[in-house]
Homo-oligomer: A and B are copies of this chain.
Amino acid sequence: MSKRQIKLGLSMRQLGYHAGGWRHPAVPADGAMRIAHFAHIAQTAERGLFDMVFLADGLGLRQRDNPPGSLARSDRNVELEPLTMLAALAMVTSHIGLVATASTSYNEPFHIARKFASIDHISGGRAGWNIVTSWSEEEAWNFNRDRHFDYDERYDRAAEFVEVTKGLWDSWDQDAFVRDKAEGLFFRPDGLHVLNHAGPHFQVRGPLTVERPVQGYPVLVQAGSSEAGQEIAAASADVCFVAHTDLGDAQAYYRSVKSKLARHGRDEDALKILPGLLAIVAPTEAEARNKYEELQALIHPLVGLAHVYGPMGDLSAYPIDGPVPVPNDPQHRSRAKVLLDMAARNNWTIRDLYLAASMGRGHRTVIGTPGQVADAMQEWVDGRGADGFNIIPATLPGGIEDFVDLVVPELQDRGVYRTVYEGATLRENLGVPRPASRHA
């Protein structure tokens, strides 16, 4: 029996995910504003035959200055905009998939359908859309609202948004454009379909003014883990991004989502589930651990404290290397209790607490040799907890350079990873079907 193959995405936001990473000598601290930074990262991932690079997104500065002084010490503030960045990257890469996040809460379907269709054409069929509903009040404030939509409303809106978008992508049949110069006929009239959508959230006539995307629809990615999120995934998504630290949880989620596919007439393989994996890799375990410790030491205490401010409130008045106090006024009682229990069990100082809390941010973390990282990956893929991984680099570009140079050859030697791109489009490389038009 042939071995289960591993799919790979790279989350390439800003300078990587480690809260102290920007201070590392090897990290270009201004990279998030420079297209050359992202071009190098995407080209490195393409050299490593990754299926795709992925850009997370938020529509505002989500972080508040808690505790005071922490915001100015964090690098999560300015960056290039994802859709313009994808279009630019399409011109300096040729195989890798290009996935960006766009929110259904603060966008219009016509714009989103149009821009992703355009990127799919510019890139020759390599575009993907990570469908999110946003989650912060800060985003609402930039779009004429006092508060974010409540849960049900935003998922309702998301479901309708995706339906409208797909309808717009089906505006023109694939073979509608005959462009017959002699006859003077540009398109076959019966190849044009006017959507005429009128629903509770959107009224969109169509047609879209872009040809049907090269991939039929761009690859649809979903990152919601709730029931409603899983339903959208099972109905529409080609890829699911998730965050799990425990194989049992990953397996339960995997089973749950895959079991919903049949109801939508979809094959189990039509949806790829990719948990995040923060890998710090080096030739020896000691070197990998050193790398990690070096990064942890770069987290400024105020930035560290910002990572526990949510549950614990402001701890900046306490000695950083003293014991973790019971907060007077915890903001989230249950999350505070989890942290306090861990601190008591491990005899943590405040510094130990924030170093632990800032790590991985809900994603599985593996620190070790290429062999150890490959083992960790195969364990989850063979154990049906994952179809592959969304690689979360601690720093950029170092994190992807190390992964491509060290882990990719190991995976190839084991016969669980491609040695050449199989197809021309992202769908072909992922092995997910090209959707037919509703009018076909």
Interface residues, chain A, CB within 8 Å of chain B? 22-25, 29-30, 33-35, 58-61, 65, 69, 71-75, 77-81, 83-88, 90-92, 106-108, 110-111, 114-115, 117-119, 121-122, 138, 141-146, 172, 177, 179, 181, 184-189, 192, 202-211, 298, 300, 303
Determine the chain B residues whose CB is within 8 A of the CB of A23 once the complex forms.
181, 184
Determine the chain B residues whose CB is within 8 A of the CB of A58 once the complex forms.
209
| A192 to B77 Cα, complex, angstroms | 10
| A144 to B83 Cα, complex, angstroms | 23
Contact assessment for B77 and A209 in the assembled complex, using a CB-CB cutoff below 8 Å:
yes
Q: How far is the CB of A145 from chain B (nearest CB, A)?
A: 7
Determine the chain B residues whose CB is within 8 A of the CB of A206 once the complex forms.
142
Determine the chain B residues whose CB is within 8 A of the CB of A210 once the complex forms.
33, 78-81
| A189 to B77 Cα, complex, angstroms | 12
Contact assessment for B179 and A115 in the assembled complex, using a CB-CB cutoff below 8 Å:
no
Contact assessment for B181 and A78 in the assembled complex, using a CB-CB cutoff below 8 Å:
no
Contact assessment for B181 and A73 in the assembled complex, using a CB-CB cutoff below 8 Å:
no
Contact assessment for A35 and B80 in the assembled complex, using a CB-CB cutoff below 8 Å:
no
The 26 listed contacts between A and B (C-beta, < 8 Å) are: A24-B181, A29-B186, A35-B91, A35-B121, A58-B209, A60-B205, A72-B189, A73-B184, A73-B186, A75-B179, A77-B209, A78-B208, A78-B209, A80-B122, A81-B115, A83-B83, A83-B115, A84-B84, A85-B87, A87-B87, A87-B88, A88-B90, A91-B91, A107-B111, A138-B205, A144-B204
Name which residue of chain B comes closest to A79, CB basis. B209
Contact assessment for B303 and A81 in the assembled complex, using a CB-CB cutoff below 8 Å:
no
Determine the chain B residues whose CB is within 8 A of the CB of A143 once the complex forms.
108, 110, 204
Contact assessment for B22 and A203 in the assembled complex, using a CB-CB cutoff below 8 Å:
no
| A91 to B93 Cα, complex, angstroms | 11
Contact assessment for B22 and A186 in the assembled complex, using a CB-CB cutoff below 8 Å:
yes
Determine the chain B residues whose CB is within 8 A of the CB of A88 once the complex forms.
87-88, 90-91, 122
Contact A186/B77 with A60-B209, A83-B115 known, Cβ cut-off 8 Å: yes
Contact assessment for A72 and B186 in the assembled complex, using a CB-CB cutoff below 8 Å:
yes
Determine the chain B residues whose CB is within 8 A of the CB of A138 once the complex forms.
205
Contact assessment for B118 and A80 in the assembled complex, using a CB-CB cutoff below 8 Å:
yes
Q: Among B121, B146, B181, which residue has its beta carbon within 8 angstroms of that of A22?
A: B181
Q: How far is the CB of A138 from chain B (nearest CB, A)?
A: 8
Name which residue of chain B comes closest to A25, CB basis. B181
**Top 10 A-B pairs ranked by shortest CB distance?**
A81-B118, A184-B300, A141-B205, A84-B87, A91-B91, A29-B179, A87-B87, A23-B181, A110-B142, A87-B88
Name which residue of chain B comes closest to A84, CB basis. B87
